[in-house]
Amino acid sequence: MERAGESSVRELAEREMAVSGSALEDAVLAERAKAGDRAAFEQLYRGHAGRAYALCLRLAGNAHDAEDLLQEAFVRAWQKLHTFRGDSAFGTWFHRLSVNVVIGALRAKLRMRPADYVECPGRAASASPGLRLDLEAAIAQLPDGARIVFVLHDVEGYRHPEIAALLGIAVGTSKVQLHRARHALRKELGS
């Protein structure tokens, strides 16, 4: 049993190495953070804030909410660190947790404003230079439902059944939202 344990630990280490050179470093930091080491947790924050902020910003559609959500995600991560077993990279675990935090917050918003589902997207800030910024602005301008499905599917690589489960909607609804989002973005960027 001991040998099996050892080899699985080595396999895990190798797998994590393959994923990213910093994954092992993250694993060590996460272990330390689990034991209450705030400095180690801050280092994890430094390493993962950018990726998480990109997610929050695109899902929320504005910087103010994104900042709140990012902070909430890290606070939640600190509270749930004991559930991080190291069988995936910390980044993967944290990203999944962030998605849940953001969607949890935005679902309440979606329930409060169902009209967003049929709203037409406003014009993106035309002053923003460069296509990438235009695209980011256009995504931000999408109605909440369409934007969230689009970001999860096209940016984050989630599949419709996963999105449907996350948002508590039908798979068909998820597809319709994606269709609306892409159509609106094509029009926005083509104009």
Which residues contribute to the site for another protein (CB under 8 A)?
38, 41-42, 45-46, 49-51, 53-54, 57, 63, 66-67, 70-71, 74-75, 78-79, 131-132, 135-136, 154-155, 175, 178-179, 182-183, 185-186, 189-190
- Supply the DSSP string of 113-128, one letter for each residue: -GGGGTPPPPPP-TT-
Give buried/exposed letters for 82-105 (b at 16+ CB in 10 A, else e).
eebebebbbbebbbebbbebbbeb
Rounded to a whole number of angstroms, the minimum distance from the CB of residue 109 to another protein is 21
Residues 141, 128 contacting (CB under 8 angstroms): no
Rounded to a whole number of angstroms, the minimum distance from the CB of residue 190 to another protein is 6
Looking at the Cβ atoms of 73 and 103, the one nearer to another protein is: 73
Rounded to a whole number of angstroms, the minimum distance from the CB of residue 144 to another protein is 18
Residues 78, 36 contacting (CB under 8 angstroms): no
Looking at the Cβ atoms of 15 and 38, the one nearer to another protein is: 38
Rounded to a whole number of angstroms, the minimum distance from the CB of residue 9 to another protein is 29
In the chain, the amino acid numbered 158 is Y
Looking at the Cβ atoms of 14 and 42, the one nearer to another protein is: 42
Q: How far apart are CA 92 and CA 117, in angstroms?
A: 30
Looking at the Cβ atoms of 25 and 154, the one nearer to another protein is: 154
